[in-house]
Structure 1
Amino acid sequence: MTDTPRLVLIDGSSYLYRAFHALPPLTNDAGEPTGALFGVVNMLRATLKEQPAYVAFVVDAPGKTFRDDLYPEYKANRAAMPDDLRAQLQPMCDIVNALGMTILRIEGVEADDVIGTLAVRAAEQGIDVTISTSDKDFAQLVRPGIALVNTMSGSRLDSESGVIDKFGVRPDQIIDLLALMGDSVDNIPGVEKCGPKTAAKWLGEYGTLDNVIAHAEQIKGKIGENLRAALPRLPLNRTLTTIKTDVELEQGPTDLVLRDRHAGELRELYARYGFKQALKELEGPGAVVEDHAGSPAGVRNTAAGYARSGAPAEGVDPSLSAKGEYEAILTPEQFDEWLERLRASEEFAFDTETDSLDPMQANLIGLSLAAEPGRGAYLPLGHDYPGAPKQLDRTEALAALRTLFEDPTRKKMGQHGKYDLHVLRRNGIEVRNYADDTMLQSFVYNATATRHDMDSLAKRYLGYDTVRYEDVAGKGAKSIPFSQVSIEDAMRYAAEDADVTLRLHRVLSPKVEAVSGLSHVYHEIEMPLVQVLERVEANGVMVDADELRRQSADLGKRMLAAQQKATELAGRTFNLDSPKQLGQLLFDELKLPALVKTPSGAPSTNEEALEAIADQHELPRVILEYRGLSKLRSTYTDKLPEMVNRDTGRVHTSYHQAGAATGRLASSDPNLQNIPIRTDDGRRIRQAFVAPEGRRIVACDYSQIELRIMAHLSEDPSLLRAFESGADIHRATAAEVFGRPFDEVTHNERRAAKAINFGLMYGMGAFGLARQLNISRGEAQDYIALYFSRYPGVRDFMERTRQQAREQGYVETVFGRRLYLDNIHARNQGLRAGAERAAINAPMQGTAADIIKLAMISIDGWLADHRDRALMVLQVHDELVFEVETGFVDTLVNEARDRMSRAAGLRVPLLVDTGVGLNWDEAH
């Protein structure tokens, strides 16, 4: 039996449709349709019997994808989802979640693209991948380490020969086969009268679609005429049928760990839908019951899809898991009663309902409130459907609430409340004393125990099933704006949000307060940061859209030139974005050496592999250039101008506190954390981030902060001395390791020392160091041994940290943030080694994250009296960026540098580099 971990990627949409059409229209005793659900549940049970390490159930997200933008008629012929099938979607998700599987829905792409990306990424990491699907399109992904399994029919496709036997072409030719055939299901017209045998014959003779196109004149008869008539649309067909393998995902393969199943919830679901065999299996030996399993829960409005109040989690007051009492505030008398209730409370929970996910543009539709668990109210302000009840005057209602929200003596709480703070600010309310956020309480308590959205938290900590947005507003093409949701339905959904937030606070607060370090991180770092980030996001940053468009045009020309150059070098056309075609060209035709392999042993065409052979042929360097240009254009120069807010003329990113377990902030819409800095093209993009007239951009960046934290944590005397002296740390390390006087250290010795300094922080061993420095593994091992002999405190710190992780299951930052390591005791050596590497790095990366957050809080407090002269506009890794009035620059630089340097009292000084310019690049 192999120890190689396995990832199963389930094509949920495919199986649900297939089961619906393959099985009779079954129903349970209540008359609810169950046929498709029955088929999917049996498939899931069969999958779990094989005990994979990682599982994801992937379904299509509502809304358009990039294919719809390329081809508006894409899937236009598909009928609307039958009502009987739609009714089974939520039960399916409930069962999948209860079985411990991660459900993935990614907007803008199809489930196929998510599966393709995860499959390729996992295979490259040495994880065996099984794609559970009945969709033939996935045959293009078959390769060593990636297999297709049709769980309903039992068939398996796991080799090139198997694909050839079934389709008549190799896996890398499947895309071209589909492009020629077309796909009636997806409304992609192919070559008329060209079936799979004809398409396979052409590809067998000419090899690729491009070569078929090039030889179209040689194909005789009516089918040749049909081919020539279809030539203009074939390149688009190929794009439409290509499964993307480079989707940006927040979760990687190893984040998809199969969780313990929720036996209590499964018992309820299986009993409700009449799945007797599944229920019998559940009751058998080995059933796993998580923290909220119990007697079957009562059902509330199940026909309408509303929440079920489940059995309470262990140790939780049962009243916190009971059904709530909610009302819609429609009369002045009700409103006055609720105002009095809120005035009498020391704290209350709130939530806003809007018509957009973008808080900088969302319109306020309503507001929910709760001052005690189990009771909530919804104040509708913008429901405008025909027949909607008269609602209270918006201006008067918000004016009355403003006094409460702006009262600094009364605590307010929310769930991911930063969004709501934006919305209320844009409606004239500056919330003061935002004291608690249940998303952040959960994140600080245990960042990896669960997702931190309300539905997941309610399920885990209360044993409570919430009403979901799609239950009241619908999904996909049939969804409606929240302003069109009936006030009665909106009340059930919105008032519950405020109520459940208050309930979660009652459960999570004692957990956080029980550990002094966690309490410190929550109260002194995360909660004060919420309103700081809200201000930074609201400030936004000015970008020069015209400059970005000029850069896009230039990148486009250079991409085209790179394509043409690559074609000349190859002697034929090929798809530059196809790793398979590129691999065949480089290694089979050009006979270049495959110096880098994927974990499965196949030649790699990733960046490292191309760099390794770039000195042997010009083509790899051209491909690298093309890829770099393409990424910059699609991610930044094309996208950023479209994201300029029409009201402010600025780009407003969103920062995420509950993302990385280490506490590092992430950003999205747009993601400004990954703008490159080390290339000329990347720096050009930063030149488009500008200051308005009369102002300057100021950048303040911590210098080598993680290395300084390592010195602090390890307490190694030599490392501490090097930082205290202010010397070049890499040169000082080289002098120690190689036994040379400081001034005689060579460039290569400093380079080696730098690689060791940073590599050790990320758990890099001799093999990784050897590859980075292009030396033998033995020589790299000698370097590391020399390093540890000169810095024994670092070696002791690393071993001490590993031991702490093994004993406690977590490590901590300097400030007490806990970083749990789920795989520290994994039987798989690779997973265990990865957890040990994370144990060493996490305290340093987490402490660095805590330090810059504390610096932001301190600087924001000082800026309160100077917001007309300076704004904090960006946080990127270890850097803070400001927009500052020209005459105020020196004051800001001195104050920011001082506050950043004093954000933590380490054993070594914190140094801050600063720069000033008309744009971000000049200031860096």
Structure 2
Amino acid sequence: MTDTPRLVLIDGSSYLYRAFHALPPLTNDAGEPTGALFGVVNMLRATLKEQPAYVAFVVDAPGKTFRDDLYPEYKANRAAMPDELRAQVQPMCDIVNALGMTILRIEGVEADDVIGTLAVRAAEQGIDVTISTSDKDFAQLVRPGIALVNTMSGSRLDSEAGVIDKFGVRPDQIIDLLALMGDSVDNIPGVEKCGPKTAAKWLGEYGTLDNVIAHAESIKGKIGENLRAALPRLPLNRMLTTIRTDVDLDRGPTDLALRDRHVDKLRELYARYGFKQALRELEGPGAVVEDHANSPTGLRNTAAGHARSGAPAEAVDPSLSAKGDYEAILTPEQFDDLLTRLRDSEEFAFDTETDSLDPMQANLIGLSLAAEPGRGAYLPLGHDYPGAPKQLDRTEALAALRTLFEDPTRKKMGQHGKYDLHVLRRNGIEVRNYADDTMLQSFVYNATATRHDMDSLAKRYLGYDTVRYEDVAGKGAKSIPFSQVSIEDAMRYAAEDADVTLRLHRVLSPKVEAVPGLAHVYHEIEMPLVQVLERVEANGVMVDADELRRQSADLGKRMLAAQQKATELAGRTFNLDSPKQLGQLLFDELKLPALVKTPSGAPSTNEEALEAIADQHELPRVILEYRGLSKLRSTYTDKLPEMVNRDTGRVHTSYHQAGAATGRLASSDPNLQNIPIRTDDGRRIRQAFVAPEGRCIVACDYSQIELRIMAHLSEDPSLLRAFESGADIHRATAAEVFGKPFDEVSNNERRAAKAINFGLMYGMGAFGLARQLNISRGEAQDYIALYFSRYPGVRDFMERTRQQAREQGYVETVFGRRLYLDNIHARNQGLRAGAERAAINAPMQGTAADIIKLAMISIDGWLADHRDRALMVLQVHDELVFEVETGFVDTLVNEARDRMSRVAGLRVPLLVDSGIGANWDEAH
């Protein structure tokens, strides 16, 4: 260990943006965004564990800098900070302060210049400097005593040799390299078509930018012409890309000593934002703080990411935590021995290695298999790097394995195996008896205890650190395709996949089987659904790309019209995509009231804020229209035509079983569940979802399913009676609540009853109802009280559910799925209230999710004999969409509606609406 003091300079702006884009859109129980904050806090904790003497957290100050004076277009094309990121800035600063770090914001210069100045001064004083950043520009500062560390990736750059290896030039040439390349993020135009290799080649030959300029005439070809065209702006580029090291600062490196942590403040902040691992660390060894990550499920396939869970490992058999014995199958003798082991086993785990995250495009590179814990095999089939050893014939090997995979008497298991089922199907293998999936076992056992990717599960349930994908294939620009990974490294990574899957199954299976309700959900709902979803995804859905392009053009014209209208209303031009400019216009110039604030207390310009003042000025409504058009265009009409699979001519979404704790399915790449249905533009997009000639689209969806589940769970006689009568439930509720005959209920009374019916399911109180109905809070409270007086069973159900959640820590769906509520005993009243609202809604939303899954399983089984005439192509919440041969429509509709209505025996009937059309919109 050296006694040399160390200064860590943290590039706060860089990490905030990097974390925002790298992590999923996490929220705490109060709905506040936390994704970027979570990433930055983890980085800060990692930094402080190294116990630096001095630390500064440096961020950009608002306003212009000297670079804007040099070049007015500097950073002109940068999008405004998203509202959900802006909301995390102040909490980030609060946590940094509470950790005892100095925050530096210096007007007139960028954070880079502040960091550069402090770094050089500290190095001159004999202080070791670490710049914590992911920004390549800082490579120009690397020298003895100054190192760059990317805390998110773990990479370190601390020598001239390291910079040369990474960029092809010395640190003193980085500025010239950047000047030649330009920077699209900062809107600095470089030499056209000049990338890092070309720029490095020129600097290697000529040494400096000045010499490159002097020899511009001798550089041939189109790139030479581009260089000569760019000559006038290159000196300015060099000024813009030079990090200043002479900023006038009122403090030096030794003024940045760490202060004592404000433990109480940290405890409050970590609890508010749900950072339970950080909270456990704060409370010290032995603290009991259950950890869970509020994020989508991680996937661990060849190119997938590897999220780590901080949750502690549970006590397990030591043999399940030991390193495994793995082999690469390269000879016929090894392959025969592997086949014998698999044939002698009643079950085996498998995993595919590919070159893409998209299972409909991925090429199979290899297969891993395991029939006993601790022993795994990797069968390479597509490694093609120079010097790669000869591999077994792909056709013959897959033919030999097909018999095992298609044997219905032999159990197969995987980790997020739906991906692998796709890959194997596309390689001629239809897997039968896919019996277990460790991702789903973990999800059913406890959806919120951990993330459900392999790395997190292995750490929590086995105490085992897995080999990560980037360990064998690299990361970022230096990553290589899996086909280029050495077979030895690939074996170490891939065989472990199958082995760890088998080990996890041995640990998780008893946990699930010990609770009959969980075992039922796992075996009767989640596992049968895997292969149903695989078929739905493989079916895909046809889209009319030309129609979508026409819609994009129309949306673009309307966006332009909205921009022009906004400019007229404002009396000047402004950037409609800039929350800052919009806020200044609305609240400073037009003096409109700021009715909605960000968590930091600043006026918000999000959708809720604009809706709140839309009745006071026309401009907010125009901005909302513009944003809606922009979102539809970027998310759907521009994107969907690009996602048509080149082989099938269809769009193939991915469905996620282990995302929402309630069990509700999610859709991604593309997300087809969020297309608006109540707007003309949303319906137009659905018109582009079509059927081929001779077929049509059929949609079947449950009518008011969550309300029906509430009636079933509450057993309220009046509510049950209302549903059994088959009458309009909201009008029937209004008649009960307001004591009127059914036929005399006004539309406003029906609207109020509908708001109460749906609002109570989501925990809405008097305040929310008052806002929705535009009435006083007192009137809203009277409505709710009247509702409960007419439906006392609903009130009793809600109280029973809260009590169950407090006593057990979880609530259950009708089918036995458990939904854990981590904050039900939270000291913070807001967190506790949020958990109580979730406790009431979760059984209804979770039961609805279970019902649609059971319906999919039932209908898919019937479709097995009719796949040439009808396909299930989409699932959207409570709706199933089919592509059906015209002459088979009546049969499909009758069968689907019958199966959907009979899939669950509730105390009220399940009603199913259906529609038929040439496209999805017409089928509604």
TM-score (norm 2): 0.73
CA offsets 1:895-921 (integer angstroms, 9 cap, x no match): 000000011100000000000000000
Name the residue aligned to 1:266.
266
Q: What is the Cα deviation at residue 613 of structure 1?
A: 2.8
* Cα distance in 1 between the residues matched to 2:860 and 2:254: 37
- Paired residues of 2:645 and 2:651 also in contact (CA < 8 A): yes
Q: Could you tell me how far apart the structure 1 residues matched to 2:236 and 2:334 are?
A: 59
Structure 1 Cα separation of the partners of residues 770 and 27 of structure 2 = 63
Query: How far apart, CA to CA, are the structure 2 residues paired with 1:618 and 1:395?
Result: 66
Structure 1 residue 96: deviation in Å? 16
2:455/2:465 contact within 8 Å kept: yes
Change in Cα spacing, 1:819 to 1:79, as seen in structure 2 (3 Å) is closer
Distance 1:709 1:32 in 2: 29
Using the TM superposition, name which of 513-522 and 91-100 deviates more.
91-100
Q: Is the 8 Å Cα contact of residues 525 and 853 (structure 1) preserved in structure 2?
A: yes
Helix, strand or coil at the partner of 2:819: strand
CA distance 1:332–1:236, change in 2 (3 Å)? farther
Shift, 1:247, TM fit = 34
Change in 2 beyond 3 A, CA 1:609/1:419: same
Mark the CA change 1:719 to 1:343 in structure 2 (over 3 Å): closer, same or farther. same
1:9-20 paired onto structure 2 within 5 Å: none
Identify the residue that residue 188 of structure 1 maps to in structure 2.
Answer: 188
Higher mean Cα deviation, 22-31 or 509-518? Answer: 22-31
Output one character per residue of 1:279-302: Cα deviation in whole Å (capped at 9) or x when no partner: 999997666799999999999999
Report the alpha carbon displacement of residue 596 of structure 1 after superposing the two structures with TM: 3.6
Deviation per residue, 1:343-390 (Å, 9 max, x gap): 010000000001111000101000000000000000000111111111
Equivalent residue of 2:349, what SS?
Answer: strand
Shift of 1:315: 3.4
Q: Are the structure 2 counterparts of residues 298 and 785 from structure 1 closer, same or farther at C-alpha, using a change threshold of 3 Å? A: closer
* Contact persistence 1:699–1:880 (CA under 8 A): yes
Separation in structure 2 between the aligned mates of residue 902 and residue 632 of structure 1, nearest angstrom: 37
Q: Distance in 1 between matches of 2:44 and 2:707?
A: 47
User: Are the equivalent residues in 1 in contact too, given 2:809–2:820 (CA < 8 A)?
Assistant: yes
Structure 1 position 771, deviation (Å): 0.4
Contact 2:570 2:585 (8 Å CA) reproduced? yes
Compared with structure 1, are the counterparts of its residues 339 and 520 closer, same or farther at alpha carbon in structure 2 (3 Å cutoff)? same
Distance 2:776 2:5 in 1: 29
Q: Which deviates further from its counterpart, 174-183 or 674-683?
A: 174-183
Q: 1:270 to 1:758 in 2, by over 3 A?
A: closer
Q: Is the 1:373–1:503 contact (alpha carbons within 8 Å) kept by the matching residues of 2?
A: yes
**Post-superposition CA distance 1:447-491 (Å, at most 9, x none):** 000010000000000000000111101111111111111101100
Measured after TM superposition, the shift of residue 662 of structure 1 is: 0.3
Q: What is the identity percentage for the equivalent residue pairs of Structure 1 and Structure 2? A: 96
Question: Structure 1 residue 603: deviation in Å?
Answer: 3.1
**Conservation of the 8 A alpha-carbon contact between 1:262 and 1:289:** no
Instruction: Give distance in 1, aligned partners of 2:736 and 2:31.
Output: 77
- Residues 303 and 355, structure 2, Cα contact 8 Å, conserved in 1: no
1:766–1:109 Cα change, 3 Å: farther
Q: How big is the shift at 1:588?
A: 1.9
C-alpha distance in 2 between matches for 1:563 and 1:656: 38
Distance 1:438 1:597, change over 3 A: same
TM-aligned CA deviation for residue 666 of structure 1 = 0.2
- C-alpha deviation, 1:579, in angstroms: 1.8
Shift of residue 580, structure 1, vs aligned partner = 2.2
Contact between 2:299 and 2:416, CA under 8 Å: does it hold in 1?
no
Spell out the pairing of 1:535-554 with structure 2 (5 A cutoff): 535-554=535-554
Quick one: structure 1 residues 914 and 92, their matched pair in 2 at CA, closer, same or farther if it must change by over 3 Å? closer
Identify unmatched segments of 5+ residues in structure 1.
none
Query: What 5-or-longer segments of structure 2 have no aligned partner?
Result: none
Cα distance change, pair 702–31 in 1 and its aligned pair in 2 (3 A): closer
How far residue 884 of structure 1 moved from its aligned partner, in angstroms, is 0.1
1:860 aligns with 2:893: no
Shift in Å, 1:597: 3.8
Identify if the C-alpha distance between structure 1 residues 23 and 377 changes in structure 2 by more than 3 Å, giving closer, same or farther: closer
Q: Which moved more, 1:654-663 or 1:132-141?
A: 132-141
Q: What is the CA-CA distance between 1:622 and the residue it aligns to?
A: 1.2
Aligned residue number for residue 457 of structure 1:
457
2:395 pairs with 1:402:
no
Counterpart secondary structure, 1:130: strand
Matched residue SS, 1:303: coil
Return the alpha-carbon distance in structure 1 between the equivalents of residues 102 and 890 of structure 2: 50
| Cα 1:836–1:540 shift into 2, 3 Å | same
How many Å separate the matches in 1 of 2:707 and 2:674? 21
Native 8 Å contact 2:417 2:437 kept in 1: yes
**Distance apart, 1:397 and its partner CA:** 0.5
Contact (CA 8 Å) 2:473, 2:482: kept in 1 or not? yes
1:320: Cα distance to partner?
0.4
1:292–1:463 Cα contact (<8 Å) kept: no
1:317-364 deviation line (CA, Å, top 9, x unaligned): 110000100000011111111111100100000000011110001010
CA shift, 1:632, in A, is: 0.2
State how far apart, in whole Å, the 2-side matches of 1:247 and 1:483 are: 49
| Change in 2 beyond 3 A, CA 1:657/1:531 | same
Q: Structure 2: how far apart are the matches of 1:338 and 1:483? A: 22
Compare 258-267 and 555-564 and name the one that shifted more: 258-267
Alpha-carbon distance in structure 2 between the residues aligned to 1:728 and 1:160: 76
The alpha-carbon deviation at position 617 of structure 1 amounts to: 2.4
| DSSP-derived class of the 1:921 partner | coil
- Please list the CA deviations of residues 169-195 of structure 1 after superposition, one character each: whole Å capped at 9, or x if unmatched: 999999999999998996836999999
When residues 765 and 275 of structure 1 are mapped into structure 2, their CA distance, relative to the original with a 3 A threshold, is closer
Partners of 1:121 and 1:681 lie apart in 2 by: 58
Shift of 1:44: 3.4
CA-CA distance at 1:766 after TM superposition: 0.3
* Secondary structure in 2 matching 1:520: helix
1:161–1:314 CA distance, 2 compared to 1 (3 A): closer
Superposition CA RMSD, Å: 14.6
Q: Secondary structure at the match of 2:574?
A: coil
Change (3 A) 1:347 1:69: farther
**Greater shift in the superposed pair: 308-317 or 533-542:** 308-317
Deviation of 1:827 (Å): 1.0
Give 1:598 shift.
Answer: 3.9
TM-aligned CA distance change 1:736 to 1:17, over 3 Å: closer
- Matched position secondary structure for 1:302: coil
CA contact (8 A) 2:293 2:309 kept: no
Q: Deviations over 1:261-283 (max 9, x none)?
A: 99999999999999999999999
CA drift at 1:578: 1.6
Of 239-248 and 568-577, the range deviating more from structure 2: 239-248
Deviates more, 1:888-897 or 1:36-45: 36-45
Q: Deviations over 1:206-262 (max 9, x none)?
A: 999999999999999999999999999999999999999999999999999999999
Distance 1:866 1:827, change over 3 A: same
Q: CA deviation at 1:807?
A: 0.7
Change (3 A) 1:125 1:641: farther
Stretch deviating more after TM superposition (79-88 or 858-867): 79-88
Question: 2 CA distance for matches of 1:268 and 1:565?
Answer: 46
Over residues 5-55 of structure 1, what are the superposed CA-to-partner deviations in whole Å (9 max), with x where a residue is unaligned? 999999789579999999999999999999999999998349989999999
Q: Distance in 2 between matches of 1:485 and 1:329?
A: 16
Equivalent pair of 2:291/2:450 in contact (CA under 8 Å): no
Alignment CA distance shift 1:589-1:110 (3 Å): closer
TM superposition score normalised by structure 1: 0.73
Greater displacement, 172-181 / 439-448:
172-181
- The answer as to whether partners of 1:292 and 1:314 remain within 8 angstroms in 2 is no
On the 8 A contact 1:264/1:296 being kept in 2, the answer is no
Measured at CA, do residues 566 and 28 of structure 1 come closer, stay the same or move farther in structure 2, by a change above 3 Å? closer
Distance 1:622 1:595 in 2: 18
The number of residue pairs the alignment matches comes to 924
1:593, distance to aligned residue in structure 2 (A): 3.2
CA drift at 1:429: 0.3
Higher deviation after alignment, 730-739 or 77-86: 77-86
Q: 1:4 touches 1:828 (CA, 8 Å); kept in 2? A: no
Aligned to 2:921, what secondary structure does the other structure show? helix
Q: For structure 1, which segment, 306-315 or 815-824, has the greater mean C-alpha deviation from structure 2 after superposition?
A: 306-315
Q: 1:780-831 CA deviation, whole Å, 9 max, x = no partner? A: 0000000000000000011110111111110000000000011111111111
Is the 2:304–2:357 contact (alpha carbons within 8 Å) kept by the matching residues of 1?
Answer: no
Structure 1 residues 396 and 229: CA distance shift in structure 2, 3 A: closer
In structure 2, relative to structure 1, the CA distance for the partners of 1:161 and 1:348 (3 Å cut) is closer
User: Could you say what secondary structure the match of 1:491 adopts?
Assistant: helix
